[in-house]
Amino acid sequence: MGKTFRYYKLTLIVLCILIAGLFCVSCGFVQEVPETSEEETVEEIGPETIVAEGLDYLHGSNGKSYDYAKALELFEEADKEGSTDASFLAGYTLLNGINDDEHRYEKAMEYLNKCKDVNPYAKICLGYLYQNGLGTEADADKAQELYSEVAKEKATNYLELISTSYKAEAGHEMAYAYYVGAGVLEDKDKAFEWFEDAEKDGNPFVYNWLGSMYMEGEGTDKDMGKAFEYFEKSAKLGNVSAMSTLGMIYYNGSNGEPDYDKAMEWFEKAYELDSPSAAYMLGLFYFIGQGVEQDYSKALEYFTEASDGGDINAMQALAAMYQNGIGVDKDKDLANELREKAGVLPEE
């Protein structure tokens, strides 16, 4: 696995992000479709129409607002009718979704494996999952095998196609390619330009990326005011990551004085969308008694939810509670079990 393979892997990883747009065009899904009613069944409408409507929600096109949960619901409906296109898109949506479902990678693998024999794009996504140990144990050999199969099946230079012919629809994917240096030379300035160009599409991911770049001063001057503005736009469109970031900005006073009420408000919004990290922060508020009355029972409840969702900070917080008997009976065995789950050495 030398430099050539690492570059090859990065190129294919970004294709995993780029392919959905091209897939939609190649399958003829980029078109206006009639609104379906709740009374109509998938059999009456046809899975192709359901998939096309799902793509409208995925891309925020044809008068639909971005709604990844709705898109996934529609793809799953069409998948039940045997649509391999829907299987791929359900897997793709789970892989790149904005929710914090701890099992989303496992679910993505299930859908992608259903269509991999007829859809080379699914193999790219599966290769990415195996390479990074998402939803399965890491297996670099399996990832390389899948990538090699795709290389033999698809010789088209997708990056060149997108950058010249599909810029309007895939600007944010090209921005990401330049940001991480996948398939192109890493260039934060170009990444920022592509994200700015894609801003007009109203994509919550683009707003979140612009917020991050302004916050860190990557590709542009550092500007917390503009960062806050973009995070707020993204959060209002349902981006959980942006909600949590806003919560941390208010919590730390990064854009002025700390405002625990506002911080809690944003963490609660993210928590309602099943964010483990937001659950941890809410637990921390109650554990410390910061902005709220100290309540170990509520802290325990939030920490437990966050821990069950995979949040490492919550696992360690729970371990400390059980180790020291804070709000619970002492249980050193459980404390050490939680530490091991978090990847921390247990205490003697």
Q: Are 174 and 203 in contact (CB under 8 A)?
A: no
User: Which residues contact residue 173 at a Cβ distance below 8 angstroms, ignoring those fewer than 6 apart?
Assistant: 14, 17, 18, 21, 162
Look at residue 28 and tell me whether its pLDDT is greater than 50.
no
Look at residue 105 and tell me whether its pLDDT is greater than 90.
no
Q: Are 307 and 338 in contact (CB under 8 A)?
A: yes
* Fold of the domain built from segment(s) 3-162: 1.25.40
User: Could you read off the pLDDT of 293-344 as tens digits, one per residue?
Assistant: 999 999 999 999 999 988 999 999 999 999 999 999 999 999 999 999 888 7
pLDDT for position 44: 60
Confidence of residue 348 (pLDDT cuts 50, 70, 90): low
pTM for this entry: 0.59
Q: Give per-residue burial for 110-122: e unless 16+ CB within 10 Å, then b.
A: bbbebbbeebbbb
Angle value at C-alpha 242, between 222 and 129, nearest 5 degrees: 105
Q: Are 234 and 207 in contact (CB under 8 A)?
A: yes
Q: Do 3-162 and 181-341 come out as alike in CATH topology? A: yes
Q: Are 163 and 177 in contact (CB under 8 A)?
A: no
SS3 category, 204: helix
Give percent of the chain above pLDDT 70.
75
Angle value at C-alpha 238, between 244 and 199, nearest 5 degrees: 100
Look at residue 6 and tell me whether its pLDDT is greater than 70.
no
Say which residue, 346 or 271, is predicted with more confidence.
Answer: 271
Look at residue 169 and tell me whether its pLDDT is greater than 70.
no
User: Which residues contact residue 334 at a Cβ distance below 8 angstroms, ignoring those fewer than 6 apart?
Assistant: 319, 322
Q: Mean pLDDT score of the chain, rounded to an integer?
A: 80
CA-wise closest residue to 92 among 112, 114, 76: 112
The CA distance from 181 to 337, in Å, is 39
Measure CA 106 to chain center: 14
**Among the ranges 6-15, 63-72, 162-171, 204-213, which has the highest mean pLDDT value?**
204-213
Q: Are 221 and 194 in contact (CB under 8 A)?
A: no
- Rounded alpha-carbon distances, angstroms, from residue 303 to 48, 198, 310: 43, 38, 11
pLDDT for position 168: 40
Look at residue 238 and tell me whether its pLDDT is greater than 70.
yes
- Rg (C-alpha) for the chain, rounded Å, is 22
Confidence of residue 177 (pLDDT cuts 50, 70, 90): low
Say which residue, 256 or 284, is predicted with more confidence.
Answer: 284
pLDDT for position 215: 95
Residue whose structure tokens are 């599966």: 126
The CA distance from 207 to 232, in Å, is 8
pLDDT for position 225: 95
The CA distance from 123 to 114, in Å, is 11
User: Could you read off the pLDDT of 108-132 as tens digits, one per residue?
Assistant: 999 999 999 888 778 878 887 887 7
E strands in the chain? none
Give the domain ranges of the chain.
Answer: 3-162, 181-341
Q: Are 339 and 345 in contact (CB under 8 A)?
A: yes
Q: Which two tokens stand for residue 163?
A: 């950058």
| Phi (first) and psi of residue 311, to 5 degrees | -80, 120
Highest CATH level, class, for 181-341: mainly alpha
